[in-house]
Structure 1
């Protein structure tokens, strides 16, 4: 896989300010982290092993590691500076280094497992449509049967989803709401507008039905949406 949108996560300024971004951009981000680990904990044992895809920055690793001191983690990310940031965050939080292994690369660079659960938060929208199923299938191969996968990313309904006539118009509305949330979080309007236009032009933002179909095609069942925050949606699914 050769994803095309990792460059912002190698810029030192962007990396240094990363921790501000999710809370500023994603409605209910802290609640999303808590919900994600609650869903994992339904089936991940107290001494379980969890795969974290898109682990750079370390926000979800820190949240899960502090809440579940018996869990062990393998995190994978294509940006080495973001992995370095994750390592610094975990060290500052007092998470023992032996509990977390960080791997530079895409999901193929992660160990074979088998893992008791996995997360892929705010990552899939950077992956081109044609690479989504192969990537999700690589995650599935590393999971025990029945293990949970939690994903959340940009996923925008089109007009057909809501009975509308114009898919583009519905999509524009949701992305405008995304930008409005940024402004309400303190982002200058001109910066929010640029971010909205960049998403529309460059990222592979699919409709929710497509996202769910991708998970099923990759070998997951019982796909359930558990989160929606304007342009973001999250699902939990089970490895078949």
Structure 2
């Protein structure tokens, strides 16, 4: 069995995987564009003109582009451990990149801020529980008091056969999006082996343990959940 490091290298460093990344959320993530729009609106509730936003897992640049287009006065710091994905983010952003600083590494390389808001979209499920705790604590340390934090990732019930059922539903959705069934099944097996997927109540508990308050579910799309909370 491939290690988690091998899995991550294949997902975010392989040139073909990186080249195809822009299509992946559309195929696997129900309502991806609408989720980005909702996230932007939730951030804008508390982030005013000239806000500075931290984006954790910024590789590819999809959410950076969505936020920057919607809020022309905001600036951004994006963090991602994959140089290939950061290069793709630069290409995706184009002229918008003048308002974005990209940092290669994990959350520890992010500036200390304090930031007006932060997001972590489609990233947290790649971290095990201990690393997730560290990530959440590090994000909160970099936020101004009461600043919003958006987290979106795979999260669904894990007991009594629910994990297998939800992973099968994920594969069915990907297949219905036009992916070959064999590739969808391969993705399902890889996710089952390598991603740390928690039940929604566990995710919410970790956010509260890190010091975030008013943790509220704002998005549910098959195998994915999204929350807004506040530092």
Tell me the TM-score normalized by structure 2. 0.96
* Residue of structure 1 equivalent to 2:75: 72
* Residue of structure 2 equivalent to 1:197: 189
Which of 214, 217, 228 is matched with 1:225 structurally? 217
Q: What is the CA distance between 1:6 and its match in structure 2?
A: 3.0
Check whether the contact 1:157–1:207 (CA below 8 A) recurs between aligned residues: yes
Q: What is the CA distance between 1:95 and its match in structure 2?
A: 1.1
Looking at structure 1, the residues matched to 229 and 123 of structure 2 have their Cα atoms a distance apart, in angstroms, of: 16
Looking at structure 2, the residues matched to 46 and 25 of structure 1 have their Cα atoms a distance apart, in angstroms, of: 33
* Residue of structure 2 equivalent to 1:149: 149
Matched, 1:49 2:56: no
Which of 12, 17, 20 is matched with 1:17 structurally? 20
Looking at structure 2, the residues matched to 49 and 131 of structure 1 have their Cα atoms a distance apart, in angstroms, of: 25
* Residue of structure 1 equivalent to 2:96: 95
Looking at structure 2, the residues matched to 105 and 32 of structure 1 have their Cα atoms a distance apart, in angstroms, of: 25
Matched, 1:63 2:55: no
* Residue of structure 2 equivalent to 1:111: 111
Looking at structure 2, the residues matched to 193 and 6 of structure 1 have their Cα atoms a distance apart, in angstroms, of: 18
Cα deviations by residue, 1:48-76 (Å, 9 ceiling, x for unpaired): 00000000000000000011000000000
Looking at structure 2, the residues matched to 17 and 107 of structure 1 have their Cα atoms a distance apart, in angstroms, of: 25
Give the secondary-structure state (helix, strand or coil) at the position aligned to 1:144.
Answer: coil
Looking at structure 1, the residues matched to 223 and 21 of structure 2 have their Cα atoms a distance apart, in angstroms, of: 20
Which of 174, 178, 193 is matched with 1:186 structurally? 178
Looking at structure 1, the residues matched to 32 and 120 of structure 2 have their Cα atoms a distance apart, in angstroms, of: 14
Check whether the contact 1:6–1:79 (CA below 8 A) recurs between aligned residues: no
* Residue of structure 2 equivalent to 1:162: none
Q: What is the CA distance between 1:96 and its match in structure 2?
A: 4.8
Check whether the contact 1:6–1:78 (CA below 8 A) recurs between aligned residues: no
Looking at structure 2, the residues matched to 172 and 76 of structure 1 have their Cα atoms a distance apart, in angstroms, of: 32
Q: How many residues were matched structurally?
A: 226
Gaps of 5+ in 1: 160-165
Looking at structure 1, the residues matched to 47 and 197 of structure 2 have their Cα atoms a distance apart, in angstroms, of: 30
Looking at structure 2, the residues matched to 224 and 105 of structure 1 have their Cα atoms a distance apart, in angstroms, of: 29
Matched, 1:173 2:174: no
Give the secondary-structure state (helix, strand or coil) at the position aligned to 2:21.
Answer: coil
Cα deviations by residue, 1:141-161 (Å, 9 ceiling, x for unpaired): 0000100000100001134xx
Check whether the contact 1:112–1:142 (CA below 8 A) recurs between aligned residues: yes
Tell me the TM-score normalized by structure 1. 0.92
Cα deviations by residue, 1:33-56 (Å, 9 ceiling, x for unpaired): 101111100001121000000000
